[in-house]
Structure 1
Amino acid sequence: MARISRDYYLNNRSKVDIAKDYGISRFQVARHLEEARALGIVRIDVRFPEAAADLAPTRLAAALGVEQVRISPTGPDDRATREAMAQQAAAEIMVAAAPGAIIGVSWSRTLDLAARYVTHLPPCDIVQLAGALPVPGSGNSLELIQNLGRHNGVSTWPLWAPLVVENSQTAQGLRRQPEIADSLAKASSLDAAVVAVGAWMPGLSTVWNRVDNQVKLEAAQAGAVAECSGRLIDADGCPVSSELDERVLAVSLSQLQNTPKVVAVAQGAARADAVRAVLAAGFVTTLLIDEELAVALSGK
């Protein structure tokens, strides 16, 4: 797939010529190219940074069908961009956390940083929305919840389990554990939630590397373009039924759809299709993005 993709995308050779070289049909070439993109062997990224100055959050929110769009500056590197977005996310968490509220927080590297920027919280409940998924060089969802729980009067509902387990039987057993069952049930009565949006491709979803190639490909072929707390979503905003869904310990899409306020955090133009898919699912009220992604979503 890599060699065929190189010939097609980098060497500008036609599918007919490539088919002759490899002794296959041009339809097989097309299928290999499609699978190469689904598996992340090929990534296509188009950027229009010069259009960022013309962005209008209110107009973009109306076009996307959400109540609010918050746009953070795209920095000189990924870390700088994430720091700016983390501060915005922290502000959203503090605004949402009214006294006595039940706030759900998922995990991403940006949200992990955001927890450190939260300076105050009233007495409220903080619910962990996704099981632990350690990422090298970053924290995990358990640490994030513990960090938010340091504020006086805050009660935490940790999810003492991995985000993705080996099989559905293991997941079912863990869901029956009282502590895990209570936290998952608490997600049905959220007043607000903060989640991250990933694209179903390598480097754009922390879940991607936790499953084998067969699961990745089957999910992509089933239409998965977005990932939110381990839940896969297709371009129309519908949940994607897959083996992965049975192995994930996290908030469900239906629970998010029943939450009055949901802040979704996403970064980078490569996540544009994923964000559109999550918006189509109908649970996002506030979208927190960087300038690069805002440009991609605005169609400039």
Structure 2
Amino acid sequence: MFCEGAVVMGSRHRVTTSEAVLMTNVGRRYYLHGQSKNEIADVLGISRFRVARLLERAREEGIVRIEVGLPGQQDAGLRLELEQRFGLGRVVVLDVPDEGGRDLLRRLGRAAVELLGEVATADDVIGLASARPLLGIREDVDAFPACTVVQLTGAVSRPDALDIIQSIRDVTKVGGGEAYVYYAPIVGAARADDLRRNPDVARAFAMVPRLTAAVLGVGAWAPGLSTVYDAVTDADRQQAAEVGVHAEIAGIYLDRDGVPMHPRIEQHTLAPSFDELTRIPTRVGIAFGSGKASATRAGIVGGLLNSLITHRSAAEELLALP
């Protein structure tokens, strides 16, 4: 970060106003506009060595200050704890108030987009599941790699009309990559095998073996903590709980230890299998809110997740587990 400071009057050599103006000009050109020392020298009619000396003095006098830190209000301490305890590859912990609501979801969605922008290239194939932080990210996508993006799971019906299909179209419009999307619910009356025969669905699922990274929403098997839980009948919820379902992550049903479970609604859940997902090199879980810590842990220890995006209170809840 480049920061302009006030002229320092108590240094070894008094900085005159004209020198301060010149240092500020050189600092802006070098740190903010990315001009080389040679370019600055040519524009200002001075030697490259003087440019270097001006930059050095600007730092000494506090006219230029360089700060190193994690962007976007991230908690480095919690990030490191999670990485070390669970052996995670990439972790983002947003240090934001635990207010819930749309603002938290937007921040998490932006963090996911930024993380993918860091790890992906035009040669990658990215999968996005129907996770709430990924819905309605249009205004938060400033840049995205020109990679292919695939819809991983069926969509979730929402009153605000936000869906994963539009989010995928938004990121590929910005990046210029190809989008593989389809219109089908993540869970419903139809059997998933029948839905996979639809040409658009088949086209998207044929891309799953080529995925290099995926973002998956973490849900706990309880009211309000899983979009699938909220979408199925009471009888299906009860039957899933009876066979040991504790977590639902991108349509995969897990017990407390991360072992895949097979409730009857699995036959009606449009999502890749556990084995298909765990072959993807980078598998990023998004976990938010209270009550999902043990579900998040299940996804990690069971091998479904190897990276995580979350926020401070959720991270603390996860680390507090035995």
- Return the match for 1:83 from 90, 97, 106: 106
Computing the radius of gyration over CA atoms, which structure comes out larger, 1 or 2? 2
The answer to whether the 8 A contact 2:188-2:268 is kept is yes
Aligned to 1:30: none
Q: What amino acid maps onto 2:280 in structure 1?
A: T
Following TM superposition, by how much is the alpha carbon of 1:236 offset from its aligned partner in structure 2, in angstroms? 1.6
Aligned to 2:232: 211
Aligned counterparts of 1:123 and 1:85: Cα–Cα separation in 2: 22
Structure 2 residue 205 is the aligned partner of structure 1 residue 187: no
Structure 2 residue 90 is the aligned partner of structure 1 residue 68: yes
Following TM superposition, by how much is the alpha carbon of 1:114 offset from its aligned partner in structure 2, in angstroms? 4.0
The answer to whether the 8 A contact 2:78-2:93 is kept is no
Aligned counterparts of 2:308 and 2:189: Cα–Cα separation in 1: 32
The answer to whether the 8 A contact 1:131-1:250 is kept is yes
Aligned counterparts of 1:215 and 1:254: Cα–Cα separation in 2: 24
- Return the match for 2:126 from 103, 117, 125: 103
Following TM superposition, by how much is the alpha carbon of 1:252 offset from its aligned partner in structure 2, in angstroms? 2.0
Q: What is the TM-score of this pair, normalised by structure 1?
A: 0.77
Compared with structure 1, are the counterparts of its residues 152 and 288 closer, same or farther at alpha carbon in structure 2 (3 Å cutoff)? closer
Aligned counterparts of 1:220 and 1:286: Cα–Cα separation in 2: 27
> How big is each residue's C-alpha offset from its partner over 1:215-263, in whole Å with a ceiling of 9 and x where there is no partner?
1011112111111122211112111101111101122221210001111
Aligned counterparts of 1:113 and 1:263: Cα–Cα separation in 2: 19
Gaps of 5+ in 1: 1-51
Aligned to 2:266: 245
Aligned counterparts of 2:314 and 2:98: Cα–Cα separation in 1: 15
The answer to whether the 8 A contact 2:132-2:217 is kept is no
Structure 2 residue 81 is the aligned partner of structure 1 residue 59: yes
Aligned counterparts of 2:250 and 2:215: Cα–Cα separation in 1: 10
The answer to whether the 8 A contact 2:76-2:93 is kept is no
- Residue identity over aligned pairs, in percent, reads 29
Aligned to 2:282: 261
Q: What is the TM-score of this pair, normalised by structure 2?
A: 0.72
Following TM superposition, by how much is the alpha carbon of 1:100 offset from its aligned partner in structure 2, in angstroms? 1.8
Aligned length: 247
- Return the match for 1:288 from 309, 313, 317: 309
SS in 2 for 1:207: helix
Following TM superposition, by how much is the alpha carbon of 1:53 offset from its aligned partner in structure 2, in angstroms? 8.1
Gaps of 5+ in 2: 1-73
SS in 1 for 2:150: strand
- Return the match for 1:153 from 176, 186, 199: 176
Which one is further off, 146-155 or 213-222? 146-155
> How big is each residue's C-alpha offset from its partner over 1:247-296, in whole Å with a ceiling of 9 and x where there is no partner?
01122221210001111100123100100111122132211111111111
Following TM superposition, by how much is the alpha carbon of 1:76 offset from its aligned partner in structure 2, in angstroms? 5.2
Q: What amino acid maps onto 1:232 in structure 2?
A: Y
SS in 1 for 2:174: coil
SS in 2 for 1:150: helix
Aligned to 1:201: 222
Compared with structure 1, are the counterparts of its residues 64 and 113 closer, same or farther at alpha carbon in structure 2 (3 Å cutoff)? farther
Q: What amino acid maps onto 1:199 in structure 2?
A: A
Following TM superposition, by how much is the alpha carbon of 1:138 offset from its aligned partner in structure 2, in angstroms? 5.4
Aligned counterparts of 1:137 and 1:74: Cα–Cα separation in 2: 25
Compared with structure 1, are the counterparts of its residues 53 and 118 closer, same or farther at alpha carbon in structure 2 (3 Å cutoff)? closer
The answer to whether the 8 A contact 2:147-2:175 is kept is no
SS in 2 for 1:287: strand
SS in 2 for 1:270: coil
The answer to whether the 8 A contact 1:112-1:140 is kept is yes
Compared with structure 1, are the counterparts of its residues 188 and 253 closer, same or farther at alpha carbon in structure 2 (3 Å cutoff)? same
Aligned to 1:299: 320
